[in-house]
Every structure is written in structure tokens, then in C-alpha cells.
Amino acid sequence: MAGRGDPPEGTPEGLPGGGEDEYRSVVFDEAFVRAARLQEFSAQERMGEYAQPVRSRASREGRTGSRQAVLLVLLILLAFGTAIYLGVRNPYLPPADQRAEPLRTTVVPLAPQGAVPGGSPEQLFSHSPVAEYRTGAAGINLPVVGRTSHFAESQVVSALSIAKDYLVASSLDPDVLSGSSVRSVRLLLDPDQLAQFDRSVESPADDGRHALAGWLVRFDPRQAVLAEPTTRVQGTLRFEESAPDTLDVTADHTYTYALRPATGGVGPVAAASLFTVHRVVHFRFDREDLRMHRTELVASTVEAGPQACGPGSTGILKPLLAGARAPEGGGPAVTDPYATTRPAAPSLCGALAPSAQPSL
């Protein structure tokens, strides 16, 4: 009996492989048919005059590929157009950099109530309120930092670091203290405040806007120089978010310098005296300031002594040195510049508290 699928008469003789069809293993599936380069016309198509028995698939495939390439280019152009449109019309872009306001300054000279104590820097420091103060930039410590509603923790750290850099440059840089340079301070200021700063340096005035002492600490190099390069510092830094795009930092620090006469003294004991500067500086930062490592100064209040009251105290500081007395007794308010927990005195002149002087 013939096997299943074999012709009734059996397998024709003479076929190779014992009668097996050599093409039986070839599978003409759909992929095979589509891959063929030639396609046979249908019976209806072959009835036409001059009709070829087959046609090439290359032209059709070429047209299909061209359409896909055009479609891909259109999709890319559409994606670029959408990105550009959203970039221009995006309502969540950060706001434009706001113009900085002028700095408001208050400088209060503190006149001594007697002769200014003198001695060596070591004696003066050890017998004054600064005995336990840290030295230089180590006395300006960053507080515990956390994020705010609209500023990340890293942005808060950046604002505090810029504020510290400004305090170090404006209060501790020897070139700034001696008046030989202001570059380190100027580089940290918002460009909108540079004109005000430059005028304060060139022509300081007691008008609440152009007091040089509100920007930085500078001693008259013809009168006094540092007797000890290490300044004693203590204070606090506080931060708060004043607006969704504004971060404020308040610095409240006391700086104590050991000074001696610029022309030299007659002996080591009377060569030096202490000069104290209590600075409260209000910094403001927007996101552009943080990115550019700069700051805007909103307000600065300075209490400095011992020095005489009167005109000239808002520019270069003119300390009263060891043994000197103020020509007048100072203002009615006795002020301790080491009490950083209280607001700075709003008066034009104060009396330096005896407790703020070294007790030798």
C-alpha cells in the first residue's frame, strides 16, 4: 500500500534519494516568498500584451524604503520643533536675575571712657573677652545646614560659603586691612553694586550709602598697622528663605585686632593695643548669584572702637592706640561690641564699655 502523501501509483522511479523529492526539505514560507527578488505575474496579468512573465521587487522595495526615510526625517524635525517650542514657552524656567538694591550702611564709632590699655598682643588677648576666641577664618563657622522650601541643601551651603568668603576677604585679608587692595572684596559683589562700592572706596561719605566701613575693614596705614597677624573672631551665621527665589544670610561677628603705631613704639609693653569691630552684615542671594559665586549686600551695621567720634569714622578707621584718650566722652549709650546677641546700636556714636577693654 502506498504511504500517506504518496501518489497512488507509488513513488516514481529514478528519483534520487530512494525516490525522495530533493526539494521536499525546502520550506516556501512567507518570509522566503517576500525575500525573492523576482515575483511572478498573476494569470490575469500575463494575459496582457507584451507582458513579462515576472517583475522585479526591487523598485517597490526602494519606494518603500524612501517613504520610510522621509517619514523618519519628518519625525526628527517634529521632535526638534517641539523641543524648541517648549524651551521658549516653558512656564517653569527660572526667573530673570533681579537687580540688586543699594547697600544701606550704619557705622557707629565707640569712644573709650579713659586711656586705651596697652601691652604685648599676647597679654592683651589673654586678658580680654577674646581669650577663648578662635583665630582668623576658623572663627567664622558654618551652622548646621538643611534644605529650605525652594533651595536644596547644596545651595544653602553655597550661600553660606560665599558669605564666609566675603567676611574673610573684607575683614581678615591683610591687603584689604592695610588699604593696598580691594580686589578680593570686589570680585564677590553683585555687578549692580560695583558702582556704589567704587564710590565708597574713592569718596566715602556718611550718607547711609557710601560708608567704606560698611563694606570692609580698613585702617589708616599712616596711623596704625597690625601688631599681630592673627585676628581673633567669633560670631554666628544664620540663613532663611525670604522668597521662593531669594536666600538671605545674616552674619553677626566680632573681630579683634592687635594694632601698633605705624611709626613704631618706644617699647614692647606699650607697643600694642586692641581694636574691636562688631559687624552685622545682611547678605542676599538669588540663583544667579549662587551660580556665579557672588553676593548682594542688603545692610551693614558696624560698631568699631576705640576711636574718636566725629566725621571720618565712616571711611578709613582711625583707631586710638595705647595710652590715647578720646577728645570727647562718646555717646550716651555704653556699648559692648562683644555682645553679639543684641541688635547693633543705631546711634551715631557710642561709648565703649569698660568690660570690652583688656584688664591688665
As a dihedral over the C-alpha atoms of residue 256, residue 305, residue 116, residue 125, rounded to 10 degrees, the angle is -10
Q: What is the mean pLDDT of residues 147-156?
A: 95
Q: Look at residue 1 and tell me whether its pLDDT is greater than 60.
A: no
Which residues on neighbouring strands pair with residue 252, listed in sequence order?
Answer: 236, 280
| Tens-digit pLDDT profile for residues 276-295 | 999 999 999 999 999 999 99
pLDDT, position 279: 95
| Tens-digit pLDDT profile for residues 141-151 | 999 999 999 99
pLDDT, position 86: 65
Instruction: Quote the percentage of the chain above a pLDDT of 70.
Output: 71
R_g over Cα of the chain: 42
pTM: 0.72
| Tens-digit pLDDT profile for residues 16-32 | 555 455 555 555 566 65
Q: Look at residue 63 and tell me whether its pLDDT is greater than 90.
A: no
Confidence of residue 343 (pLDDT cuts 50, 70, 90): low
How far apart CA 149 and CA 244 sit, in angstroms, is 8
pLDDT, position 295: 97
Mean pLDDT of the chain: 82
How far apart CA 74 and CA 69 sit, in angstroms, is 9
pLDDT, position 245: 93
Query: CB neighbours of 318 closer than 8 A, spacing ≥ 6?
Result: 219, 220, 223, 224, 307, 308, 312
Q: CA 193 → CA 103, 165, 293, distances in Å?
A: 8, 17, 15
| Tens-digit pLDDT profile for residues 257-269 | 999 998 754 444 4
Q: Look at residue 233 and tell me whether its pLDDT is greater than 60.
A: yes
Contact present, 250 and 143 (Cβ < 8 Å): no
How far apart CA 335 and CA 356 sit, in angstroms, is 9
Q: Look at residue 309 and tell me whether its pLDDT is greater than 90.
A: no
pLDDT, position 99: 81
